[in-house]
Amino acid sequence: MWHKFNVRQEQINLASAFVFYTFVTTFHQSFANMKILITGTAGFIGFHLAKSLLDQGHSVWGIDSINDYYDTRLKYARLAETGIEQSSIEYNRFVSGSRYPDYHFAQMQLEDREALEKLFDEVPFEAVVNLAAQAGVRYSLENPHAYIDSNIVGFINLLECCRHHRNVKHLVYASSSSVYGTNEKIPFSENDRVDNPVSLYAATKKANELMAHVYSKLYGIATTGLRFFTVYGPWGRPDMAPILFTKAILSGEPIKVFNNGNMSRDFTYIDDIIKGVVKVIQYAPQGNIPAEIYNIGCGRPMQLMDFIHTLEDALGKKAQMTMLPMQQGDVYQTYADTSKLQGRFGYKPQTDLKEGIAAFTRWYKEYYCQ
């Protein structure tokens, strides 16, 4: 069963929002047994999404390049959590997980157009979720070609596969809060201008939004872009602040605090993000141009120093800090206006920072300290 959401409908009021949320919940119970492709399933969000969809009874095909942008041992450990052992992984050959018989994984690059086309020829996917990308704002300053290969070439290959395989009813893809660049209007809204990026990473994410819009307009492909804000939680990326700070605090080393700590981020716990993504997958945009974009974050920004103090409390240890100026390619604050996503899907994060940090630090100690 597939439901389409009319992107032209009027802004719903609170009463109708409740009715719509009830309908979403009812439909969610029959949202099962779909064939879904997720790219980037060895990554942080992709791993959690694959596990969630498998737990709900879907058949999931996962692909990931397993590149060495950060320690691949963490990527293989995520895969092992879903029953995919490192020794069984090969390029362009799918293996099934021991924990989830309906989970099929292959090491594959989106830039490999021939392999991707073969996959779409063999499996009639109903939904595609693209979470594979070369991540990292600061890394893009040093390795620009990696971002073009993965984020631009890889994405056009995926769009072309969806274009020529019309069994795909919905393409959901990861954008980023970084598209807002130096936007000074707070909170960040989907209606704000996003033509002033401050990093190549942000520029590739904005390009993805434009590319998806064009394919929706020309070929009627239903696409939804999700502008992720700062996501944290168990199995997170080791190049992000939570793990970097935790490692330094526990080892007694100073943490680097940019802009002298005068920064704020819309920290969002991974479980809340996944619930939002799952809801979005179910409803393909409709209309003359079936394309949508949503902010997906917490909607409650926190000062970086408050985040550090919450982490200190969870670890039971004070941080040593090295105060530094703002780093090139970074932004002072991020703050998501999530009213659009909340109004249409009932999305509302439930995990406060203290609870989320506690869960994260428990995982960190189990994974890194044993």
The two three-digit tokens of residue 368, written as one number: 């890194």
The two three-digit tokens of residue 102, written as one number: 């309906």
DSSP 4-48: EEETTSPPP-HHHHHHHHHHHHHHHTT--S-EEEEE-TTSHHHHH
Q: Which of 103, 139, 147, 201 is catalytic?
A: 201
Cα end-to-end distance, the chain, whole Å: 45
CA atoms of 32 and 35, how far apart (whole Å): 9
Query: Is-contact 159 113, C-beta < 8 A?
Result: no
DSSP 61-107: EEEE---SSS-HHHHHHHHHHTT--GGG-BBTB-EE-SS-TTEEEEE
Q: Helices 353-368 & 304-315, crossing angle to 10 degrees?
A: 50
H or E element, residue 130: strand 127-130
CA atoms of 197 and 96, how far apart (whole Å): 40
315: Cα separation from own chain's centroid:
27
Q: At residue 41, what are phi and psi to the nearest 5 degrees?
A: -80, -5
The two three-digit tokens of residue 291, written as one number: 């394309």
Task: Give Cβ neighbours of residue 105 (< 8 Å, ≥ 6 apart).
Answer: 41, 61, 62, 63, 64, 79, 82, 84, 89, 94, 95, 97
Q: At residue 189, what are phi and psi to the nearest 5 degrees?
A: -115, 150
Residue whose pair of structure tokens reads 């869960």 in the numeric block:
359
Of 287, 292, 296, residue with least CA distance to 229: 296
Q: Is 103 a catalytic residue?
A: no
Residues known to be catalytic: 201
